[in-house]
Amino acid sequence: MNKKISDAELEIMKVIWESDSPLLFACIMKALEKNGISWQKNTLITLLSRLMEKGYLKANKRGRKNEYAPLVTSEEFQSVQTKDFVDRIYKGNVSGLITQLVSSDMLTETEYDELRKILEVK
Amino acid sequence: MANTVLLLLISLSFSGGLIVLLIFFICLLFQKKIGWQWQYYIWLVVIARLLLPFSPEQNLMGSLVERIYSFEQDYETDLAKNASGSSNEDDASLSDKDKETEVIKNAGEEGDKIGKLQNKVLKAVPETGKYLCIFWLIIVMFLLIRKITIYQSFVRFVKAGSTQVDDITYLETLAKEEIDLGIRKAVDLWINPIISSPMLIGFSHPCIVLPDNDLSEKEFHYTILHELVHYKRRDMYYKWIAQVVLCIHWFNPLIYFAARKINRFCELSCDEVVVKRLQSDDECREYAGTLLNAMASKGAFKERIASLTLSEDKKLLKERMEEIMNGRTRKYTVGKRILSVVLTMGIILTSFFAGSYTVGASNNDDMTISNMKISKQLKERSKSKKITAKQADKMALALTNKIWVWEWVEFFVPYMTDDGAKKLVSASLNSEWAGSVDMTTGKEMKFTQKQVDAARKEKPSGKLTSGDIDDHALMIMQSNGNWECVSFMLPYMTRKGIRSVVSCYNSKHGDDEKRAKDYY
């Protein structure tokens, strides 16, 4: 799970996270095409098997076909990635990140209110 | 059992070795005429010969084994002759008659000694055979396990130091190339700076490993094309089968030679396939350049056993360069195709008939060399066979030695050699057992030279055959029922004859103590 993921692999994970149920190979292919990505079949097979090896995906047999389901939710993935990002860029200092977000006007008014509410509850 | 295995193994190894030499010289002779692919795959015949113990009834190895046995027998009779010859000279002072008996005695003693020695050897052979067999098996296991563990740890080592190629354009090029070549399985792509040249590893999850990723687009294309052709042709299985055969026939230097040849032809024929797919001479030149660059790369880690590397060594590389540059001009005409088909058939047939010492001849598990010898002789004896003069001598003297009934021995006399006939009289004088007795006088009726001479004068109407021995042995068995008076004839009889003698013996002795099968 904490293993690095490539951009191409992330595209596949996004497609799978968007779906509520496990996806067949052909469905992943189609969904990627919708996102403007058309790969060779074997490229996708290689990337899927790499994701399985890294523990992001699992494949269940449905008849003779494989059905791919995520082992990691997008939230889990985001929190791990954010933590990694904060560790690397802000040396683990979260307030540094928030200060940066606020001071460089990256947050809208509503987002700022949401953030405040979360902080108050905790 | 152990001896059967050893004999089978050695005969397989030997005929395999012959086929190795045959193919090597054919490849040398027609190198420029036949494609590299043919020169690569033809070695499968050797592998089949070395692994599969099937061959026709009559084959080279079978008759070779037989020949060795008959040579052994000739050697033994020679020994016996020499022994009698030398004693002849030593005892010059003895009278003629004494001398003659002395000779026979000595010959008999020598014969006994040789017999005892032979028994010892035959008893020793199964023992040493067993130890040799175990020794062979231990080496096979050791080599196999060593090869497999070395390969596994190599793969683990390469994988551990590898990074996956994430660049989607490389992966796409690889996938397109796979479609072009008709490969359905997705081959993974890794980079590991520690290896010396690009390679293909893994069976269930094949993977191309590159030494570095600063290859140009074209170089990358040629590199993966070469490795994918290896994968497409299942070259790693071929190499591993060759390695297994090598482990089994570890004692045969020709097999090591063949394994090296297979590696060489593997690369040359792989290049041949790649070059056929290239469009122009420029592309050939670029492909050759890629090979050279791969050779010059920095990584030092090399693995020879079963990974398929892009370039193996410099001498081979030079040859490959030349072949790549000539490859496009090489055309395979119909004549050359026919030549390769004819050669293939020839080699397959030769290897089939070179054969092995087949086990099919006997179901007996505990077959030692001695009864193999007999069973081999007997296999051919279901039909009536000619009996030689020397064999007639042997039987007549053996019979005289047991029981000196002239009517029984007389049967052999016309067919015997002069030497053999001369020994008869003294043999009857020295006989171990009993013989004919004159009913009126009670005197033993030993043979006389007159009788022998008279019998010698009769010209035999035809050749003596095993069928005649059958009848004669049965007659003796019916008259006296003594096993030892016919046992020495069994090797020269047909199966049918043996059966009737055995059933006659059993009927006389009231039980079924003997079985004809034991004497086939």
What does the pLDDT look like over B22-35, one tens digit per residue?
999 999 998 878 88
Q: Residue B412 sits in which domain range?
A: 384-519
Q: Which of chain B's residues have a Cβ under 8 Å away from the Cβ of A42? A: 174-175, 178-179, 185-187
Q: What does the pLDDT read at residue B75?
A: 62
Does the beta-carbon distance from A46 to B176 stay under 8 Å? no
Residue A119 pLDDT class (50, 70, 90 cuts): confident
Which range, A95-99, B39-43, B339-343, has the best average confidence (pLDDT)? B39-43
CA gap B187, B156 in Å, rounded? 17
Task: Decide if B164 and A50 are in contact by the 8 Å CB cutoff.
Answer: yes
**Residue B359 pLDDT > 50, yes or no?**
no
Q: Mean pLDDT highest for which of A87-101, B303-317, B353-367?
A: A87-101
SS in 3 state form for B434-454? CECECCCCCCECCCCHHHHHH
How many Å from the N-terminal Cα to the C-terminal Cα in chain B?
19
User: A-chain residues within 8 Å CB-CB of B190?
Assistant: none
- Residue B199, H or E segment: strand B199-201
For B449-483, b/e burial (b = at least 16 CB within 10 A) is: eebbeebeeeeeeeebebbbbbebbbebbeeeeeb
Q: Which residues of B touch A49 (CB under 8 A)?
A: 186, 188, 205
Question: Given pLDDT bands bounded at 50, 70 and 90, which one contains residue B362?
Answer: very low
pLDDT confidence band for B90 (50 / 70 / 90): very low
Identify which of A45-49, B55-59, B87-91, B130-134 has the greatest average pLDDT: A45-49
Distances (CA, A) of A58 to A28, A53, B198: 14, 9, 31
Contact B188 A50 (CB under 8 A): yes
Categorize the per-residue pLDDT at A91 as very low, low, confident or very high, splitting at 50, 70 and 90.
confident
pTM: 0.64
Closest by Cβ to A42, choosing from B166, B168, B178: B178
Q: In this model, does residue B367 exceed pLDDT 50?
A: no
Q: Which residues of A touch B179 (CB under 8 A)?
A: 40, 42
Q: Is residue B118 part of a domain?
A: no
* d(CA A56, nearest CA chain B) in Å: 16
pLDDT at B71: 63
- Pairing mode of beta strands B308-309, B188-191: unpaired
Residue B124 located in a structural domain: no
How many angstroms separate the CA atoms of B466 and B479, rounded? 20
The predicted complex's ipTM stands at: 0.83
Find the CB nearest B176 among A7, A40, A50: A40
Question: Would the CB atoms of B188 and A49 count as touching at under 8 Å?
Answer: yes
Contact A45 B186 (CB under 8 A): yes
The yes-or-no verdict on residue B249 having pLDDT over 90 is yes
The total number of residues written for chain B in this structure: 520
pLDDT given at position B208:
93
* Closest residue on chain A to B176 (Cα): A40
Kindly state whether residue B13 falls inside one of the protein's structural domains.
no
Task: Report the pLDDT averaged over residues B43-51.
Answer: 92
What pLDDT does residue B364 have?
41
Give the whole-angstrom CA distance, residue A95 versus residue A100.
8
B495: Cβ–Cβ under 8 A, 6 or more apart, which residues?
B378, B381, B382, B516, B520
pLDDT tens profile B92-121 = 444 555 555 555 555 555 555 555 555 555
DSSP bridge partners of B437: B444
Whose tokens are 């004693």? That residue is B87
Question: Mapping DSSP to helix (H, G, I), strand (E, B) and coil, where does residue B405 land?
Answer: coil
Q: Is residue B478 part of a domain?
A: yes
Q: Tell me the count of A-B CB pairs closer than 8 A.
A: 45
Q: What mean pLDDT is predicted for residues B36-44?
A: 92
Query: DSSP of A49-66, one letter per residue?
Result: HHHHHHTSEEEEEETTEE
| pLDDT of B311 higher than 60 | no
Of A9, A39, A45, the CB nearest to B172: A39
Query: Does the pLDDT at position B310 exceed 60?
Result: no
- The answer as to whether B76 is a domain residue is no
- Rounded to a whole number of angstroms, the distance from the CA of B173 to the nearest CA of chain A is 9
Q: Which residue of A has its CA nearest to B189?
A: A46
Do the domain assignments include residue B456? yes
State phi, psi for B179 to the nearest 5 degrees.
-65, -45
Residue B35 to residue A99: CA distance in whole angstroms: 72
Crossing angle (nearest 10°) for helices B96-160 and B418-429? 110
Q: Note the pLDDT of residue A28.
A: 92
Residue B368's pLDDT is: 47
Ranges B134-143, B249-258, B511-520: which has the least confidence: B511-520
Of A42, A12, A38, A48, nearest in space to B175 by CA: A42
DSSP 8-class letter at B358: -
Number of structural domains found in chain B: 1
CB A86 within 8 A of CB A97: yes
Tokens 């064999």: give the residue: B391
pLDDT tens-place string over residues B182-224: 999 999 999 988 887 888 988 888 999 988 767 888 889 999 9
CA B103-B108-B113 angle, to 5 degrees, is 125
Of the candidates A4, A28, A26, the residue with the CA atom closest to the CA atom of residue A15: A28
Q: In the prediction, which pLDDT does B254 show?
A: 94
Q: What is the CA angle B7-B370-B112, rounded to 5? A: 140
Average of per-residue pLDDT values in chain B: 78
> Chain A interface residues facing chain B, Cβ-Cβ under 8 Å?
6-9, 39-43, 45-47, 49-50
pLDDT of the residue at B400 = 84
Query: From the candidates A12, A46, A47, A51, which should be mutated to test the interface with B, based on the most B CB atoms within 10 A?
Result: A46
> What is the C-alpha R_g of chain B?
35
For range B310-329, the mean pLDDT: 71
Q: What percent of chain B has pLDDT over 70?
A: 76
pLDDT, position A42 = 92
Q: B444 - beta bridge partners?
A: B437
Q: What is the tens place of the pLDDT at every residue in B460-482?
A: 777 888 888 888 888 888 888 88
Q: What are the pLDDT digits (tens) for B395-451?
A: 888 888 888 788 888 888 888 888 888 888 888 877 777 777 766 777 777 788 888
Residues of chain A neighbouring B207 (CB-CB closer than 8 A) = none
pLDDT of residue B146: 94
The reported pLDDT for the residue numbered B308 is 54
Residues of B in contact with A9 (CB under 8 A): 166
Q: With CB atoms and an 8 Å threshold, state whether B168 touches A41.
A: no
- pLDDT over 60 at B89, yes or no: no
